[in-house]
Amino acid sequence: MRRVEPATGSEGSPDDQAAFREVHARLGGAFFTEKSQYPPSDLFGPLLHAPRVARAILELGGALRDLGVPSGDGGSLNDDFAELIAFAVFARMHAEAVQQGRAFAYLRPMINHVPRALRSGTRREAIRALVDGDDGALLREEREVAEFVRAVLAGSVDDVCWSRMQAQLGPRRTIETASYALLDFFVCRLEAALGLPDATREELDLLLKESTP
């Protein structure tokens, strides 16, 4: 059940209201306006009660990948790689939620990301493998990224784990990979905390089957 109604922009200080207008303008970009039963506005509407928090989330996201904001260079994470990170996060959070019997099982963000992921070149088979927990169906590079992301989420990154990823990506992209994984984790937890409705596995399976790149 939704716990917070969308903000109107009249709340808070003049600085808050200015941040509200800035975020509202950014949300008009293509990254946030794709048609979906679970649109990003469901999150950012309530989140705009704290508009400077919403702005900071967008600024961090735009520093890591292309969010369709003309003023940003989108960091160095290509869309296909960023989506692989995202699905590694979503799949791990989904598996843990199911194991713990949670009502919100993090299928909602998967629904939002599937079309963009497929368009960017993320393999459909990799998405399915991550959701199903089938690492054997991942390519070696995909599996290494997924293992690194899981370690980041668990707080279990060691020297070997970091060195392997840094050898593949370099220092900047390794830091950005860890940062983007944690940003996705943070946003997913906000969706659950705000009581947003989750999607179903049937919806996800159908979308994966019917979506075209």
Domain boundaries, the chain: 1-75, 79-210
* pLDDT tens-digit readout, 170-191: 999 999 999 999 999 999 999 9
Q: Can you give the pTM of this predicted structure?
A: 0.93
Q: Which phi and psi angles does 97 have, rounded to 5°?
A: -65, -40
Give per-residue burial for 141-158: e unless 16+ CB within 10 Å, then b.
ebbbbbbbbbbbbeeebe
pLDDT at 74 over 60: no
Question: What pLDDT does residue 25 have?
Answer: 87
pLDDT at 71: 45
Q: Name the DSSP letter for residue 121.
A: T
Architecture of domain 79-210: Up-down Bundle (1.20)
CB atoms within 10 A of CB 3: 9
- Structure confidence at residue 115 (pLDDT): 92
Instruction: Tell me the CA distances in angstroms from 195 to 89, 122, 134, 202, one per residue in order.
Output: 19, 29, 29, 21
Q: What is the pLDDT of residues 18-66, one digit of tens each?
A: 999 999 888 876 566 666 788 888 999 999 999 999 999 999 998 998 7
70 pLDDT above the threshold of 50: no
CB under 8 Å, gap of 24 or more: what pairs does 74-79 form? 75/176, 76/172, 76/173, 76/176, 77/173, 77/176, 77/177, 77/180, 78/120, 79/116, 79/119, 79/120, 79/121
pLDDT (tens digit, 9 = 90+) per residue, 190-206? Answer: 999 999 999 999 999 99
pLDDT of residue 32: 67
- State the residue for tokens 């392997």: 164
Please name the residues in contact with 30: beta carbons below 8 A apart, sequence gap of 6 or more: 68
Could you identify the residue written with the tokens 């306006």? Answer: 33
What residue has token string 């179903």?
200
DSSP, residue by residue, 29-80: SHHHHS--SS-THHHHHHHTTSHHHHHHHHHHHHHHS--S-TT---TT--HH
Please determine, for residue 169, whether its predicted confidence score (pLDDT) is greater than 90. Answer: yes
Round the average pLDDT of the chain to a whole number and report it. Answer: 92
- Write out pLDDT tens, residues 78-97: 999 999 999 999 999 999 99
Q: pLDDT tens for residues 9-30?
A: 998 999 999 999 999 888 876 5
In angstroms, how far is CA 169 from the centroid of its own chain? Answer: 20
Token look-up 């079309």 returns 115
Mean pLDDT of the 108-130 span: 95
**Residue indicated by tokens 């060195």:** 163
Find out whether 65 and 75 touch, Cβ atoms under 8 Å: yes
